[in-house]
């Protein structure tokens, strides 16, 4: 875990020579045969746990280097806080691109697949043209009507995340997420996006009560039937505070527990801020499993 093998380096070199490898990229990553770690880089002033820390381009590039050195398999770069906990400040297109432009080439140059965390089709298209290879859409193709077409045109893999404008404690969250995924998959099919390019994510903390976020991790296997890789992003999220009162920076223990159980329940990719401790936790969990 986290250690480079000749095979994985060859694989990354191969990725570099194929900037838009579509389904092959995802298949190649998943073929590593272990859960993948997606490291989070927020180039934002207002992200819920690290807003402002990496807005400066030099700090952002240094953080990307750190995430890569710590063993991230994918770098997820976002320049607009998706604000799982409200107070959304919409970032204009030009501003989002202006935050990304000084850092994206250097981040892509690290040689890991780069995913662009954006709700805007225009930002996704621009980042894919610049060499990003995956799009992470926290509205699962259901917010920007051009997103599915951009993905189809670029042959890029996409993370389809469940979201809701507001949480409703009365709903069956598993059924709601399932219906959302079905809508997203229909949109994807209509645009000509191959199913093998899609990753599903229940969107921990997005339009959910803390209890519903816990349910989504506990019941992750409910979505295995789609036959698609599942991603979970529980890192530092507020549902951890609902179990043990804590500030975002104090939620590493809860994040590790959530991600280990998510992997146990079928997650193929986990999205984290703290790559090194996560890589270590996954490696130890895998060693214990092998010792059975």
With CB under 6 A as the contact rule, the residue among 22, 78, 140, 229 that binds ligand HH2 is 78
Burial code (b: 16+ CB inside 10 Å, e: under 16) for 24-34 equals bbbebbbeeee
* Partners of 1 in beta bridges: none
CB of 292 to ligand HH2, least distance (A): 30
Give the x/- contact pattern for ligand HH2 in 126-165, rule: CB under 6 A. Answer: ----------x-x--------------------x-x----
Burial code (b: 16+ CB inside 10 Å, e: under 16) for 96-117 equals bbebbeebbeebbebebbbbbb
Distance CA 111, CA 14 (A): 10
Q: Pseudo-torsion of CA 241, 244, 245, 248, nearest 10°?
A: -50
The active-site residue out of 237, 238, 251, 289 is: 237
The active-site residue out of 271, 289, 290, 292 is: 271
Q: Looking only at residues 191 through 250 of this chain, which bind ligand HH2 when binding is defined by CB under 6 A?
A: 201, 203-204, 231, 233
Concerning whether 271 is annotated as a catalytic residue, the answer is yes
C-beta of residue 107 within 8 angstroms of C-beta of residue 153: no
CB of 46 to ligand HH2, least distance (A): 7
- Choice between 161 and 198, CB closer to ligand HH2: 161
Q: Looking only at residues 49 through 68 of this chain, which bind ligand HH2 when binding is defined by CB under 6 A?
A: 49
Q: Looking only at residues 23 through 52 of this chain, which bind ligand HH2 when binding is defined by CB under 6 A?
A: 40, 42, 44, 47-49
CB of 6 to ligand HH2, least distance (A): 31
**Piece of the chain touching ligand HH2 by CB under 6 A; list 4-12, 81-89, 139-147, 259-267:** 81-89
Query: 25-28 contacts: CB < 8 A, separation 24 or more?
Result: 25/113, 25/133, 25/134, 25/157, 26/134, 26/157, 26/196, 26/197, 26/199, 26/229, 27/196
Distance CA 166, CA 177 (A): 14
Distance CA 291, CA 288 (A): 5
Number of residues that bind ligand HH2 (CB under 6 A): 22
- Choice between 44 and 63, CB closer to ligand HH2: 44
- Choice between 3 and 157, CB closer to ligand HH2: 157
Radius of gyration of the chain (CA): 17
Q: Is 84 in the site for ligand HH2 (CB under 6 A)?
A: yes
Q: Looking only at residues 262 through 291 of this chain, which bind ligand HH2 when binding is defined by CB under 6 A?
A: 271
Using CB under 6 A as the criterion, which residues of the chain lie in contact with ligand HH2 when the complex forms? 40, 42, 44, 47-49, 78, 81-84, 117, 136, 138, 159, 161, 201, 203-204, 231, 233, 271
Residues designated catalytic: 237, 271
């Amino acid at each position: 875990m986290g250690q480079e093998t000749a095979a994985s380096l060859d694989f990354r070199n191969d990725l570099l020579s194929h900037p838009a490898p579509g389904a092959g990229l995802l298949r190649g990553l998943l073929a590593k045969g272990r859960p993948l770690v997606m490291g989070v880089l927020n180039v934002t002033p207002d992200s819920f746990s690290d807003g402002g820390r990496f807005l400066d381009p030099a700090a952002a590039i240094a953080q990307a280097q750190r995430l890569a050195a710590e063993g991230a398999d994918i770098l997820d770069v976002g320049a607009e806080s998706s604000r799982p906990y409200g107070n959304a400040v919409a970032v204009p297109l030009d501003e989002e691109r202006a935050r990304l432009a000084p850092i994206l080439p250097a981040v892509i140059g690290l040689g890991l697949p780069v995913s662009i965390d954006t709700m805007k089709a225009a930002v996704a298209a621009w980042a894919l043209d610049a060499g990003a290879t995956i799009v992470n859409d926290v509205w699962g193709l259901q917010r920007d009507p051009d997103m599915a077409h951009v993905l189809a045109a670029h042959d890029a893999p996409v993370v389809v995340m469940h979201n809701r404008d507001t949480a409703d404690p009365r709903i069956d969250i598993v059924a709601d997420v399932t219906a959302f995924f079905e809508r997203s998959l229909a949109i994807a099919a209509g645009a000509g996006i191959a199913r093998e390019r899609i990753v599903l994510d229940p969107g921990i903390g997005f339009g959910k009560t803390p209890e519903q976020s816990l349910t989504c991790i506990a019941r992750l296997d409910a979505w295995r039937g789609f036959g698609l890789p599942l991603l979970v992003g529980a890192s530092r999220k507020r549902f951890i505070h609902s179990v043990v009162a804590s500030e975002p920076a104090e939620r590493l223990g809860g994040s590790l527990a959530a991600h280990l159980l998510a992997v146990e329940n079928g997650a193929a990719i986990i999205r984290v801020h703290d790559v090194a401790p996560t890589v270590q936790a996954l490696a130890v969990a895998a060693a214990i499993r092998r010792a059975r």
